[in-house]
Amino acid sequence: AQKVTQAQTEISVVEKEDVTLDCVYETRDTTYYLFWYKQPPSGELVFLIRRNSFDEQNEISGRYSWNFQKSTSSFNFTITASQVVDSAVYFCALSEDGTDSWGKLQFGAGTQVVVTP
């Protein structure tokens, strides 16, 4: 069963618009970790954020912000005032703390963000 769902396949925006990427996850563990990665056209994944299941505080880093809501099992990502350099595929991922799940990242299918000038 898919544990991380990114329902948006592609989002197209014009520069300076805000864009929100949805991520819904599924787990029975009480301790788990959520991640966002960016994959630019070069292919290399770039780590953006890690959040553990006990920390529901929202986080802001420059133009990036994250909204973690355990009640809805969501970990959404917003890019404010988008720029062309934000064009990439963004992946949400889940790591569970169980013995069989050690260290394994389960990725969503990704959301392609296209920012046009």
Partner 1 sequence: DGGITQSPKYLFRKEGQNVTLSCEQNLNHDAMYWYRQDPGQGLRLIYYSQIVNDFQKGDIAEGYSVSREKKESFPLTVTSAQKNPTAFYLCASSIAGGNEQFFGPGTRLTVL
The contact set with partner 1 (CB under 8 A) reads 4, 33, 35, 37, 42-47, 50, 91, 95, 97, 102-105, 107-110
Query: Of 110, 112, 113, nearest to 4 (Cα)?
Result: 110
Nearer to partner 1, 85 or 102 (CB): 102
If DSSP codes are grouped into helix, strand and coil, which group holds residue 115?
strand
Nearer to partner 1, 103 or 117 (CB): 103
Compute the least distance from the CB of residue 81 to partner 1, in Å.
26
If DSSP codes are grouped into helix, strand and coil, which group holds residue 100?
helix
Compute the least distance from the CB of residue 13 to partner 1, in Å.
20
Nearer to partner 1, 17 or 101 (CB): 101
Percentage helix, strand, coil, to 5, in the chain? 10, 50, 40
